[in-house]
Chains A and B, each alone.
Chain A
């Protein structure tokens, strides 16, 4: 184990972090839309949202990645493995985030909304000023957990050839015949990234002025 190996793994960590940040961000945007659909008045919309959440939460990420990796070229979209990996991670996390957010909205005490109606807030104002901030308060810890989960799950992109932490460790392991050091160091990098995300989540919570 030399500094070169650590450096290469650190580069992999940057790839892992980048993949995670992008998929979580886009996943949140999709998740919010799917969550809105799942709470909509229209029954077909709700059914679609439920199917979406159920499918992308129910299929192992590895299988999802394989499917997307092979499916995209077949329907004429020729993209590098990294993009296929991003699409898979994003779809997966969007379903989890949609479900988490839905739980937040459903668990808002009805009285808080009624209080808004009584002082004359419009439905849109109630959504923006009351329901959304409270749902975020309720779900921020779960969303941070979800971010950590996708960070770890992103290790599966190594199977479609993306040079993340895990893929780098695999390559180094077979070239140096030192799997224990390489994979243990890879594990340390994941732990480190987890801590960063958890800290970031706490900071975000404070920034948004969320309190118990």
Chain B
């Protein structure tokens, strides 16, 4: 086990009823790297990401965040023990998450959304929390929208606020669950730009995405998931230039057919 890995997953299994979504996934996410999870819909990418945040409870296997197990720890006899809620919350503190549906709280302003964790979790004084929240809004280019409610913001702006909200808690790792999938095409750019900047600053990122262009350009480690298993993984350049796995080749072809080839060239 690589102790220096940001996230390690060993034999992660997840079932929904009789449906097995993850069939024993082993994954290492390295510090300072952008890992992109790609694959056809229903392949289990989002579930895997949500397991890493323990928003879904994995039915088997162990997931470690910065070396600390989240949700379940391995017992001496090989079985698993459920960790107490306080411990789960503690481990989760090093993760920030960005959702497909933004999930901004509709009754709080953009600033209120970003400041909420600073006030309620870190217990910062009001002024300091607002100043720090403002700094994070500035970072995603939305300082002048601070007093707007989510309903008054475009999808792209909402997602940038959501990124600021996650960053405000100073996470070591950022998880992105299809962050641009519910955006109009012309709004994806602004979100991807923020993510690219974040990657350039050396943030550890695990990104579930359909944006093959983003994965090819920004992703360093590419993981192709198919039917609940990792079918292929490797460095971005190799995986996209020589997609030797037939399913991966087929998957990429559908994107190339849509004209994404231009994006892969660069």
Residues of chain A having any CB pair with chain B under 8 Å: 109, 111-112, 114-122, 125, 129-130, 133-134, 137, 209-212
Query: Are the C-beta atoms of B117 and A119 separated by less than 8 Å?
Result: yes
When C-beta atoms are compared, the residue in chain B nearest to A128 turns out to be B120
Could you list some 24 contacts between A and B, CB below 8 A?
A111-B101, A112-B105, A114-B55, A114-B97, A114-B99, A114-B103, A115-B97, A117-B55, A118-B95, A118-B97, A119-B117, A119-B121, A119-B165, A119-B166, A119-B169, A120-B92, A120-B117, A121-B120, A121-B121, A133-B107, A134-B105, A137-B107, A211-B149, A212-B151
When C-beta atoms are compared, the residue in chain B nearest to A133 turns out to be B107
**Using a Cβ cutoff of 8 Å, how many contacts connect chains A and B?**
66
Bound: A96/B244 CA distance, A: 62
Which residues of B sit under 8 angstroms from A133, Cβ to Cβ? 107
B33 on the interface (CB 8 Å rule)?
no
Bound: A120/B149 CA distance, A: 22
B89 on the interface (CB 8 Å rule)?
yes
Partner of A111, one of B89, B92, B103, B121: B103
Bound: A134/B107 CA distance, A: 7
B42 on the interface (CB 8 Å rule)?
no
When C-beta atoms are compared, the residue in chain A nearest to B150 turns out to be A211
Query: Are the C-beta atoms of A120 and B169 separated by less than 8 Å?
Result: yes
B245 on the interface (CB 8 Å rule)?
no
B106 on the interface (CB 8 Å rule)?
yes
Give 11 new A-B contacts, CB below 8 A, not counting A115-B103, A118-B55. A111-B99, A114-B99, A115-B99, A117-B55, A119-B121, A120-B89, A120-B117, A120-B121, A122-B89, A134-B107, A211-B151
Partner of B105, one of A118, A125, A130: A130
B15 on the interface (CB 8 Å rule)?
no
When C-beta atoms are compared, the residue in chain B nearest to A136 turns out to be B107
Bound: A116/B149 CA distance, A: 17
Which residues of B sit under 8 angstroms from A118, Cβ to Cβ? 53, 55, 92, 95-97, 166
B233 on the interface (CB 8 Å rule)?
no
B82 on the interface (CB 8 Å rule)?
no
